[in-house]
Amino acid sequence: MYSANMFAMPSSLLTRTPSLESISSFRSSETTISEISGFAPASISPRVWDGSTLTPEDYVFKLSKEEVQAVRHAVVSFKLSGRPRSDLSPSTFHLPLELARKLRNCSEHIHDGPGLSVVRGLNEARFNDEESVLAFVGVSSHVCPERATDGFANQTLSHIRDATRDKVLEGAEHIGLAGSKLPTAMEFHADRYSGDVLALYVRNTGGENNGGDQFLASFGAVYNEILATDPEVLDTLSVDNWPFEMKDSKTELPYLEPGPVLWFSRGRPICQLVRAPLLGSPKIPRSCAMPKLSEKQLYALQVVEKIASHRKIKLDRQEGDIQYIHNLSVMHARSAYGSKAEGPSQRHLLRMFLRDPQRAWVKPPGYCQKFEGCFTKDREQNIPIFDADPWRKISGRDSHG
């Protein structure tokens, strides 16, 4: 059962003040934060954490048996209504008022707390494939009401899984698989212009000791350490000359879209650093016509990865979890998974990107449309039950790691 304060921000996060002694010890005596022009001061807030200050008790919320049954009842009721899945919303996915309130409070935890929440317990409902999608989308609508739709693939919900053994469809022989369809490791990143909140539903972990572990890092903590130890890296990250390779949705031809990977909004650093459109990915090489990253940019990537890896947490994960990760302030990564000898891994996550218009962070001037594009109103929402075409639906890598 829930305690009286479940889904409210844990008091431990409000009272903890992450020590800056380790940061200060690296700071040059000639350099102070106030001398670094244009950058926000070091942040001390619940958004700044590492493995020593954030535990599963701070972000995992267990549903009671009665609440799991309430979600199952909402799934069955929606199925019987005959509505299309794109109609899923708080008004069509009916939950008890108290549970709905707790899920709304989850959004506060995501936006103003540590930047992540995990809703646990839906594995007890034993949902089939269709019911899992309905539960994921329906529950998420109570947390963050707005869903993003990818501008390239016109897809709202995607499947993260190993598709390397799938039979290649006719006409897709030349299309490489994106990182979400490969069992390879991913370095720390934040998905670019994809949505404020990354939502993941764990259908299958892939088995114990079979890889695919998820890791998170507070970008506030990464920012603080860079500010104290190597502030020139922040200059590099915030300059709008990073050579992102994009793909035209009609012609599928690549084109260059320069931009930064670090912004500031109301004193808060925002990270949108994704490597695939900058360096290429295992199955989608970067076009030789695209400019290469500069030495400063390559060095900045190394610095961010090193600090994030040092300050990371391993996300506490169970099948049936719905994970909500603030995509503007928390970076994510994963280890490789599966075994070639045993065939494709059964690891399977469902993914959406969401926004809560009441708590969404203000976006930086000049880039609002970039962040808003995936939430264009009246765009058709594609919410597939199965991943029938992993090449065409997510054949690009414009936004994701």
Contact assessment for residue 62 and residue 7, using Cβ atoms and an 8 Å cutoff: no
**What average pLDDT does range 97-102 have in this prediction?**
98
Q: Are 85 and 257 in contact (CB under 8 A)?
A: no
Residues 6 or more apart whose CB falls under 8 angstroms from that of 134 comprise 75, 78, 79, 85, 88, 93
Q: Which one is predicted more confidently, 371 or 281?
A: 371
Per-residue pLDDT tens over the stretch 31-80: 233 334 468 888 788 999 998 999 999 999 999 999 999 999 999 999 99
Would you say residue 27 lies in a domain?
A: no
* Residue 86 located in a structural domain: yes
Q: What is the pTM of this model?
A: 0.89
| pLDDT digit string, tens, across residues 154-207 | 789 999 999 998 998 888 888 888 889 999 999 999 999 999 999 999 999 999
Which CATH number belongs to the domain containing residue 354 in this structure? 3.60.130.10
pLDDT score for 284: 87
For 136-153, the pLDDT digits (tens) are 999 999 999 999 998 767
In a domain, 400, yes or no: no
Tell me whether residue 231 is in a domain: yes
| Residue of 93 and 250 predicted with greater confidence | 93
Estimate the crossing angle of helix 97-112 against helix 65-81, to 10 degrees: 100
Side chain identity at residue 213, one-letter code: D
The DSSP H or E segment spanning 47 is none
- Per the domain annotation, does 11 fall within a domain? no
In a domain, 326, yes or no: yes
Task: Count other C-beta atoms under 10 Å from residue 90's C-beta.
Answer: 15
Listing DSSP states for 25-49 in one string gives TTS-TT--GGGSTT-PPPP-STT--
Q: What is the mean pLDDT of residues 102-111?
A: 96
Domain range spanning residue 218?
A: 55-393
Alpha helix positions (H), 123-231: 129-143, 219-229
Amino acid residing at 212: G
Indicate whether 383 belongs to any domain.
Answer: yes
* 3-class secondary-structure state, position 122: helix
Q: How far apart are CA 335 and CA 87, in angstroms?
A: 35
Residue 398 near residue 247 (C-beta atoms within 8 A):
yes
Distance CA 42, CA 79 (A): 49
Domain count, the chain: 1
CA dist 56 and 105 (Å) reads: 18
What confidence score (pLDDT) does residue 40 get? 83
Range 94-108 average pLDDT:
97
Q: Which residues contact 241 (CB under 8 A, 6 or more apart)?
A: 258
Task: Express as a percent the part of the chain with pLDDT over 90.
Answer: 71
Task: Report if residue 107 sits inside a domain.
Answer: yes
